[in-house]
Structure 1
């Protein structure tokens, strides 16, 4: 799908990945609609990229519908917004479960439902779902996040099959740990200093480039991750239990526990 001259709605646009996506699309002459909760951050980004802001709380069910109404017809939807609630499953308050399900899974589903109707009528369009490597590999202390990202990934591929005959593309992006964005910026625990960043992480700009490439070439799925993580993801497709054992062997589970416990202690268990 040709990007220049199209209109894109980006949720979670006030975060690091959302900002990078907005900049990458705007650089390709896409009109960007920036949705999120932080109006000040959205306003600054809108001034930079020439976009329009839509303040929306995707944790509120009516908020999703209102956002889509304000956006109007769009050519591209990037369902990027998400929350991460690290904890042992027995420690999740019920309202946190509801929030994660609403923001990570229900909101993208509703967005797809509403956008696809207009895209089918137009005979063109593209929907991008931001899943995660957590949608392919079980991660310690992230059962709730895993559930929503696995679910979103499955939904995306099924919707892709449904919409292909109508000329509407669907892609799913699966980032690994993203430096300078998301939970890693709030976590007191990181990989050892002697491990190069390129080995354990990717940048927001690399995710943004993947989004542009997915829309331009109608790619079903792109994993934005270093090769060791891609290897574990492939292994998980064959044997989730083996992937979990490998994470324990290399100490990845200890890092995951440390990240979760550290965020909880800081009072930022839901991001």
Structure 2
């Protein structure tokens, strides 16, 4: 009796929406998935850049998306489904990381980080989930950070936002178990994008590259699992903190320089352009 060989998983033909797709990790992910045959749509609050990026990649859908506004997000998803078909994957990638000690952080910046990094992920997940549940299939991938598992001085609100994304993603996985909808988180370490402009990388560890994060997202689509860290070594190092006393893990962080990377070691001139955009200046 002959046996049927299982089909090889592929992203080809899948409809994938990526928020914050104009640059950085979002752009790298769009490029990777588009090259692999997915039908990719990118949205970004920077309308001019996202349209140029979409045209360069040859995407059918690339336009304005404010992840903090329900009307904008819902309209964008409607446009994707009218043009490309039912959404298979939503990659909640949009996020900002303005730096500075908490006492110096304006309330408007605090709210902006939480609105984009947390509420934007919750809103996008909710809107996509309603569509996916009706079909009994889909995948929400949230781009979190290893800063969602370990503290980083100078990025308190950012860390809080990424801790929230991890807890949110894990809870959705429990809440919708057995529905056919998957939930995953990607946890990059320091990644060579404008997000870390003007900062010093931790000692002994290399930064990740955007294409590595993109490859991790593509692999999650093919082989869904709760989370993946990029780089693997950084992920192992962060997870190992669970098995040592807090004072030991904090001492290790100081040895690696994470207590200064986002505070005293920041080059404000090199970082100014990103900070102005992240803060909405």
- Tell me the TM-score normalised to structure 1 length: 0.88
Classify 1:215/1:24 alpha carbon distance in 2 versus 1 (closer, same or farther; 3 Å).
Answer: same
CA distance in structure 1 between the aligned counterparts of 2:79 and 2:246, rounded to whole angstroms = 42
| Deviations 1:49-98 (CA, angstroms, capped at 9, x unpaired) | 33111202224454334433433341110000001021111111111111
Classify 1:151/1:237 alpha carbon distance in 2 versus 1 (closer, same or farther; 3 Å).
Answer: farther
CA distance in structure 2 between the aligned counterparts of 1:264 and 1:98, rounded to whole angstroms = 24
Aligned match of 1:225 in 223, 231, 238? Answer: 231
Alignment of 1:50-61 (within 5 A): 50-51=58-59, 52-60=61-69
1:246 aligns with 2:259: no
**What corresponds to 1:29 in structure 2?**
37
CA distance in structure 2 between the aligned counterparts of 1:45 and 1:74, rounded to whole angstroms = 21
Q: Which has the larger radius of gyration?
A: 2
Unmatched 5+ residue regions in structure 1? none
The alignment partner of 1:120 has SS state of: helix
The alignment partner of 2:261 has SS state of: helix
Give the number of the structure whose residues are more often helix, by fraction: 1
**What corresponds to 2:160 in structure 1?**
147
The alignment partner of 2:264 has SS state of: helix
The alpha-carbon deviation at position 6 of structure 1 amounts to: 1.4
- Tell me the TM-score normalised to structure 2 length: 0.85
The alpha-carbon deviation at position 113 of structure 1 amounts to: 0.9
Aligned residues: 263
Q: Which deviates more, 38-47 or 93-102?
A: 38-47
1:209 aligns with 2:210: no
The alpha-carbon deviation at position 226 of structure 1 amounts to: 5.4
Unmatched 5+ residue regions in structure 2? 1-8
**What corresponds to 2:48 in structure 1?**
40
Contact (CA 8 Å) 1:136, 1:236: kept in 2 or not?
Answer: no
**What corresponds to 2:90 in structure 1?**
77
1:235 aligns with 2:207: no
Contact (CA 8 Å) 2:67, 2:123: kept in 1 or not?
Answer: no
CA distance in structure 2 between the aligned counterparts of 1:111 and 1:191, rounded to whole angstroms = 31
